[in-house]
Amino acid sequence: MSIDYFGHSTRDAADAQKRIEHVRRAHPEWFDYILILYDAKPPGRFAAEIAREFGVESLKSTFMLSVNDKERFAECLDEALEFLYQVFGTDTLTLTHGLDMIRPPRKPYAATDLS
């Protein structure tokens, strides 16, 4: 059974991709093998409908995070998900476990300034 998380963002795919690249560079120990963070892309055919079920009204990009090393993922998964919220900002990102339930942030975060 795979363990996948999905990012639903109101940021366009180019901005979301910059943030994903920042996340990968900041924590290669998480995202080089234990977790696989896929590139951002514009929403697919049914993505906006799915995102609305989670309260995301203006979906502009999506991405996926998969657990690759099931023996070690507990070392970093919660921190990695929280870091994604920090970089994107909680007002522009909703993370879901599968497409079933929201994985909420621990607290609100303003987006990281990448300029």
Give a yes or no: residue 38 inside a domain: yes
Structural domain including 12 reads 4-102
Q: CATH no. for residue 55?
A: 3.30.70.2920
Q: pTM of the full predicted structure?
A: 0.94
Mean pLDDT, range 66-95, rounded to an integer: 96
Mean pLDDT, range 44-56, rounded to an integer: 93
Give a yes or no: residue 109 inside a domain: no
Does the pLDDT of residue 58 top 70, yes or no?
Answer: yes
Mean pLDDT, range 53-58, rounded to an integer: 94
Chain length of the chain: 115
**Rounded CA gap, 12 and 60, in Å?**
5
Q: How many domains does the chain have?
A: 1
pLDDT score at 32: 85
Give a yes or no: residue 24 inside a domain: yes
Give a yes or no: residue 25 inside a domain: yes
The answer to whether 10 and 90 have CB atoms below 8 angstroms apart is: no
Give a yes or no: residue 61 inside a domain: yes
**What proportion of the chain, given as a percentage, has pLDDT over 90?**
90
Give a yes or no: residue 114 inside a domain: no
> How confident is residue 115, by pLDDT bands cut at 50, 70 and 90?
confident
| CA atoms lying within 13 Å on the CB side of residue 26 | 15
